[in-house]
Structure 1
Amino acid sequence: MADGRTPLWRGHNVFRIVAFFYAASWFVMLYDKYERPRLAAACLACMAVWTAFTVWKYRTRAGRTNRLVAADVVVVNALFLLNELILTETQMNSPDPSVVTVWHSTGVTAAAVQWGMTGGLATGIIEAAGNLLVRGRIGSDMALDTVLLIGVGLVIGLNSDHARRSTERLAHALRTEAATAERERLARSIHDSVLQVLARVRRRGAELGGEAAELAELAGEQEIKLRSLIATKPETTEDGETDLAARLQVLRTARVHVSVPGNPVLLSEQLSADLAAVVREALANVDKHAGEQTQAWVLLEELPDEIVLSVRDDGPGIPEGRLDEAAAEGRMGIAKSIKGRVTALGGMITLDTAPGEGTEWEVRVPRTAEPKRRRGGQR
Structure 2
Amino acid sequence: MSVRSTRDPATPLWRGVVVLRVVTWLFALAVVIAHHSDFQRPWLAWLVVGVMGAWSVVSSLAYMRESGRHRWLVIFDVVLTTALMLTSPWILSDAQYDAASPLITTVWAAGGPLAAATRFGARGGVVAGLVVAVGTGIAREKVDLDVVRDGVLLCASSLLVGMAATLARSSAEALARALRTEAATAERERLARSIHDSVLQVLARVRRRGLEVGGEAAELARLAGEQEIALRALVSSEPTRSGDTADLRSALQLLATTSVQVSTPAGTVDLPAHVTEELVAITREALANVEKHAGPDAHAWVLLEDLGGEVVVSIRDDGPGIEGGRLERAAAEGRLGVVKSIRGRVADLGGTAVLDSAPGRGTEWEVRVPATVRDGR
Per-residue displacement from partner, 1:57-84 (whole Å, max 9, x unpaired)?
1112222222222222222222222324
Shift, 1:19, TM fit = 0.8
Matches within 5 A, 1:132-171: 132-171=137-176
Q: 1:47 aligned to 2:58?
A: no
Which position in structure 2 is the counterpart of 1:280?
Answer: 284
Instruction: Describe the SS at the equivalent of 2:177.
Output: helix
Q: Is the 8 A contact 2:272 2:373 kept in 1?
A: no
Instruction: Describe the SS at the equivalent of 2:256.
Output: coil
Shift, 1:128, TM fit = 0.3
Q: Aligned residues: percent identity?
A: 50
Matches within 5 A, 1:215-364: 215-234=220-239, 236=241, 243-261=247-265, 263-264=266-267, 266=269, 268-269=271-272, 272-303=276-307, 306-328=310-332, 331-355=335-359, 357-364=361-368
| Distance change in 2, residues 1:5/1:372 (3 Å) | closer
Instruction: Describe the SS at the equivalent of 2:121.
Output: helix
- The residue identity in structure 1 corresponding to 2:43 is R
| Distance change in 2, residues 1:304/1:111 (3 Å) | closer
Q: Distance in 2 between matches of 1:305 and 1:120?
A: 34
Count of aligned residue pairs for this structure pair: 371
Q: Distance in 1 between matches of 2:280 and 2:315?
A: 11
Q: 1:180 aligned to 2:185?
A: yes
Unaligned runs of 5+ in 2: none
- The residue identity in structure 2 corresponding to 1:173 is A
| Distance change in 2, residues 1:314/1:234 (3 Å) | same
Q: Distance in 1 between matches of 2:70 and 2:330?
A: 58
Q: Is the 8 A contact 1:233 1:246 kept in 2?
A: yes
Shift, 1:127, TM fit = 0.7
Matches within 5 A, 1:95-106: 95-106=100-111
| Distance change in 2, residues 1:153/1:246 (3 Å) | same
Per-residue displacement from partner, 1:192-242 (whole Å, max 9, x unpaired)?
22212222333344445454433332222111011112111235499x876
- The residue identity in structure 2 corresponding to 1:61 is E
Shift, 1:106, TM fit = 0.2
- The residue identity in structure 1 corresponding to 2:267 is P
Shift, 1:152, TM fit = 1.2
Which position in structure 1 is the counterpart of 2:91?
Answer: 86
Identify the match of residue 21 of structure 2 among 16, 27, 30.
Answer: 16
- TM-score normalised per structure 2: 0.87
Shift, 1:133, TM fit = 1.1
Q: Distance in 2 between matches of 1:106 and 1:78?
A: 14
| Distance change in 2, residues 1:331/1:3 (3 Å) | farther
Which position in structure 2 is the counterpart of 1:376?
Answer: none
Matches within 5 A, 1:192-203: 192-203=197-208
- The residue identity in structure 1 corresponding to 2:182 is E
- TM-score normalised per structure 1: 0.86
Q: Is the 8 A contact 1:352 1:361 kept in 2?
A: yes
Shift, 1:291, TM fit = 3.3
Which position in structure 2 is the counterpart of 1:377?
Answer: none
Identify the match of residue 121 of structure 1 among 126, 145, 150.
Answer: 126
- The residue identity in structure 2 corresponding to 1:196 is Q
Per-residue displacement from partner, 1:287-324 (whole Å, max 9, x unpaired)?
34433333211123455755443211233433444433
- The residue identity in structure 2 corresponding to 1:269 is P
Q: Distance in 2 between matches of 1:98 and 1:53?
A: 22
Q: Distance in 1 between matches of 2:23 and 2:78?
A: 18
Unaligned runs of 5+ in 1: 374-379
Q: Distance in 1 between matches of 2:269 and 2:68?
A: 38
RMSD: 2.9
Q: 1:3 aligned to 2:8?
A: yes
Q: 1:112 aligned to 2:112?
A: no
Identify the match of residue 196 of structure 2 among 167, 184, 191.
Answer: 191
Q: Distance in 1 between matches of 2:51 and 2:295?
A: 82
Q: Distance in 2 between matches of 1:162 and 1:46?
A: 34
Instruction: Describe the SS at the equivalent of 2:35.
Output: helix
Q: Is the 8 A contact 1:317 1:358 kept in 2?
A: yes
Q: Distance in 1 between matches of 2:290 and 2:89?
A: 80
Larger deviation, residues 75-84 vs 162-171: 75-84
